[in-house]
């Protein structure tokens, strides 16, 4: 029993279909519990008032925006090294989910920033690198759409993902140098001094787990769709040949 | 390798390969900026380094889609790929030819256009130095983008979309060095970072570009 068994599309579809209902249900429960807990059963912050509660959407979305790119990187590497089609399709399937997560993080940040920082947007390092990440997602998706041959598209986008990762990290540190930050430090880190208060962190963990499972469910679902679309294309091509 | 470089340079100069086009575009962008932001000389002096860097970057971007497209269409790229020269070397030479025909003229023209934008006197030296260090990186990264989109019919716009985020670090450090130079501050850190990016990109990017080109030529 090895993980590479799931490189077989049929096996992947079978198992993902068995797992998906669990994922949908648990992510739905976790996100609703986390959001209701966070929105209605945590105290208001003494300075930020109730606006602080947007953290329960903002932080998990930002977390998944970065992790989605990381997942695409791993999937692209697997495609480049081992040529498993499911892996390439999973990377393709994750990109639109990641870009939506990036947009959610940017939008909730802007909505929170308007009353708190007095501005919708500032050229802060964190904000800027998220905008750059958004542009990388855009280019990646556009390249997938532009190329007809699926294998060529998978190869080219995989290399773009690898190169893009290097440049995204470079940009992250370059913008640090270019402007001082307005954004607060990490909400949750091992260094406990700068963390958010306990009252907020527990529902936040629940939301983060919910978002992660939700992301997994979406990627499984979209990968299944891509595999089926590929099969339909192959069937149609065979039919045309026979006719 | 020399033969290929000379061939590319000749083609660029003689066959209307857009040799002067990048330069003209640079001129137009710089001339349009005062119309857009107003003629106040102190404002222009403040934004001049950034505008010149952005103009150089855009002119570089504009000339990228011709970098490989012509060779792709007439099939000489296939010949080059089967030649004894490794594709990594071919692509490096292509980037070098692009830099000589686009990057270098931009570097030389930038001080002239700096006069139009009222660039402070201290700024000229560091503007030229930062462009000289940064434009090779622009050419090499752009070659990667050109190799990615070479097989596409409407690759031009996609090329810009793919390459622009990759240009972010180069632009930040390059424009920062030029800006600090113009304001009389120390330029060492951004300049060293810029040189580091250029060196790293020149060393590593040809491998990615050649890999991408091999996939496209398959």
Nearest alpha carbon to residue B163 among B144, B135, B179: B144
Find the chain B residues whose C-beta atoms sit closer than 8 A to any C-beta of A. Answer: 144, 148-149, 151-152, 154-155, 158, 161-162, 164-166, 168-169, 172-173, 176, 189-190, 193, 197, 205, 208, 211-212, 215-216, 218
The answer to whether position A10 is within a domain reads no
Report the residue count for chain A.
Answer: 243
User: Which candidate from B169, B211, B212 shows the least CB-CB separation from A167?
Assistant: B169
Q: Nearest CB to A170: which of B155, B169, B212?
A: B169
* A135·B176 Cβ contact <8 A: no
A174 to chain B: closest CA residue: B169
Task: Considering only CA atoms, give the Rg of chain B.
Answer: 18
Integer angstrom CA distances of residue A180 from A61, A168, A184, A193, B46? 24, 19, 11, 21, 19
pLDDT of residue A116: 80
Residue A3 lies in a domain: no
Domain that holds residue A226: 19-242
Classify residue A4: in a domain, yes or no.
no
Q: Given an 8 Å threshold on Cβ–Cβ distance, is B208 in contact with A136?
A: no
A28 backbone dihedrals φ, ψ, rounded to 5°: -60, -45
A162 contacts in chain B (CB < 8 Å): 208
pLDDT the model gives residue A240: 93
Is A92 inside any structural domain? yes
pLDDT in the model for residue A196: 65
Distances (CA, A) of B111 to A20, B1, B3, B122: 62, 32, 32, 11
- The string of pLDDT tens digits covering residues B87-97 is 999 999 999 99
The verdict on residue A11 lying in a domain is no
Q: Which helix H or strand E contains B186, and what residues bound it?
A: none
Instruction: Dig out the tokens for A47 from the structure.
Output: 């300075």
Number of domains in chain A: 1
Q: Report the distance separating Cα A104 and Cα A101, nearest Å.
A: 5
CB contact under 8 A, A146 and B166: no
- Chain B residues with CB under 8 Å of A154 CB are none
The first and second tokens of residue B9, run together, are 């340079």
Whether residue B131 contacts residue B54, with contact meaning beta carbons closer than 8 Å, is answered with no
The CA distance from B76 to A12, in Å, is: 43
Answer for the pair B107, B57: CB distance below 8 angstroms, yes or no.
no
Residue A131, Cβ neighbours under 10 Å: how many? 18
Give the per-residue pLDDT at A1.
Answer: 56
The 3-class SS string of chain A reads: CCHHHHHCHHHHHHHHHHHHHHHHHHHHHHHHHHHHHHHHCCCCECCCEHHHHHHHHHHHHHHHHHHHHHHHHHHHHHHHHHCCHHHHHHHHHHHHHHHHHHHHHHHHHHHHHHHHHCCCCCCCHHHHHHHHHHHHHHHHHHHHHHCCCHHHHHHHHHHHHHHHHHHHHHHHHHHHHHCCCCCCCCCCCCCHHHCCCHHHHHHHHHHHHHHHHHHHHHHHHHHHHHHHHHHHHHHHHHHHHHC
**A175 has a chain B CB within 8 A of its CB:** yes
Q: In the prediction, which pLDDT does B11 show?
A: 78
Of A89-103, B154-168, B194-208, the range with the lowest mean pLDDT is B154-168
Mean pLDDT of B124-143: 93
User: Is residue A9 in a domain?
Assistant: no
| Min Cα separation A4/chain B (Å) | 25
CB contact under 8 A, A135 and B151: no
- Specify the residue for token string 């670090």: B169
Return the pLDDT at B204: 94
* In-domain check, residue A13: no
pLDDT for residue A54: 85
CB contact under 8 A, A164 and B166: yes
Confidence (pLDDT) at B65: 83
Q: Is the pLDDT of residue B139 over 90?
A: yes
Residue A42 inside a domain? The answer is yes
CA distance A45 to chain B (A): 37
What is the pLDDT at residue A182?
63
Candidate from B162, B164, B215 with C-beta closest to A152 = B215
> A49 or B132: whose pLDDT is higher?
B132
Provide the shortest C-alpha distance from residue A171 to chain B (in Å): 5
Along chain A (243 residues), what's the average pLDDT of each consecutive run of 10 residues?
79 89 94 90 73 86 93 94 90 95 93 84 85 94 90 92 92 80 62 61 89 94 93 92 87
Mean pLDDT computed over B116-141: 91
Q: Report yes or no: A164 at the B interface, CB cutoff 8 Å.
A: yes
Q: Match 């198992």 to its residue by tokens.
A: A15
Task: State chain B's mean pLDDT as an integer.
Answer: 88
Q: What is the pLDDT of residue A192?
A: 52
Query: Cβ B152–A147 below 8 Å, yes or no?
Result: yes
B-chain CB neighbours of A164 within 8 Å are: 165-166
Taking CA–CA distances from B213, the nearest residue in chain A reads A156
Which residue in chain B has the smallest CA separation from A142? B158
pLDDT given for residue A121 in this prediction: 84
Q: Say how far apart CA B203 and CA B218 lie, in whole Å.
A: 25
pLDDT tens profile B140-151: 999 999 999 988
Q: Quick one: what percent of chain B has pLDDT higher than 90? A: 49
């Amino acid at each position: 029993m090895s993980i590479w068994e799931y490189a077989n599309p049929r096996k992947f579809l079978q198992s993902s279909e068995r797992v998906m209902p669990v994922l949908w249900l648990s992510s739905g429960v976790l996100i609703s519990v986390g959001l209701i807990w966070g929105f209605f059963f945590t105290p208001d912050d003494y300075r930020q008032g109730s606006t602080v509660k947007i953290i329960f959407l903002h932080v998990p979305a930002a977390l998944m925006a970065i992790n989605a790119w990381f997942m695409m990187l791993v999937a692209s590497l697997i495609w480049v090294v081992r040529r498993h089609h499911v892996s390439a399709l999973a990377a393709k399937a994750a990109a639109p989910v990641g870009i939506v997560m990036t947009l959610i993080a940017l939008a909730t940040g802007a909505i929170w920033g308007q009353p708190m920082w007095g501005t919708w947007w500032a050229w802060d390092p964190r904000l800027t690198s998220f905008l750059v990440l958004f542009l990388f997602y855009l280019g990646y998706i556009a390249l997938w759409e532009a190329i007809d041959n699926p294998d060529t598209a998978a190869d080219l986008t995989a290399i773009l993902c690898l190169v893009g990762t290097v440049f995204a990290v470079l940009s992250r540190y370059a913008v640090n140098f270019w402007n001082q930050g307005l954004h607060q430090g990490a909400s949750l880190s091992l260094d406990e001094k700068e963390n958010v208060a306990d009252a907020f962190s527990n529902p936040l963990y629940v939301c983060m787990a919910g978002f992660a499972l939700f992301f997994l469910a979406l990627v499984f679902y979209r990968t299944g769709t891509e595999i089926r679309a590929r099969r339909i294309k192959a069937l149609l091509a065979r039919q045309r040949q026979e006719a | 390798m020399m033969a290929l470089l000379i061939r590319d340079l000749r083609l660029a100069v003689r066959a209307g390969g857009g040799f002067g086009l990048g330069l003209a575009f640079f001129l137009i962008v710089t001339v349009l900026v005062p119309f857009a932001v107003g003629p106040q000389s102190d404002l222009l002096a403040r934004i001049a380094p950034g505008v010149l860097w952005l103009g150089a970057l855009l002119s570089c971007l504009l000339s990228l889609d011709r970098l490989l497209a012509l060779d792709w269409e007439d099939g000489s790229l296939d010949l080059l790929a089967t030649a004894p020269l490794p594709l990594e070397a071919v692509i490096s030479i292509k980037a070098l030819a692009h830099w000589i025909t686009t990057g270098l003229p931009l570097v030389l023209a930038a001080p002239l256009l700096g006069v139009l934008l009222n660039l402070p006197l201290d700024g000229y030296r560091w503007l030229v130095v930062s462009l000289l260090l940064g434009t090779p990186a622009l050419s090499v990264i752009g070659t990667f983008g050109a190799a990615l989109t070479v097989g596409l019919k409407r690759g031009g716009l996609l090329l810009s979309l793919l390459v622009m985020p990759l240009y972010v670090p180069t632009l930040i450090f390059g424009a920062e060095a030029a800006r600090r130079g113009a304001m009389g501050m120390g330029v060492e850190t951004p300049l060293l970072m810029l040189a580091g990016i250029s060196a790293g990109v020149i060393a590593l990017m040809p491998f990615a570009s050649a890999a991408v080109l091999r996939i496209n030529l398959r």
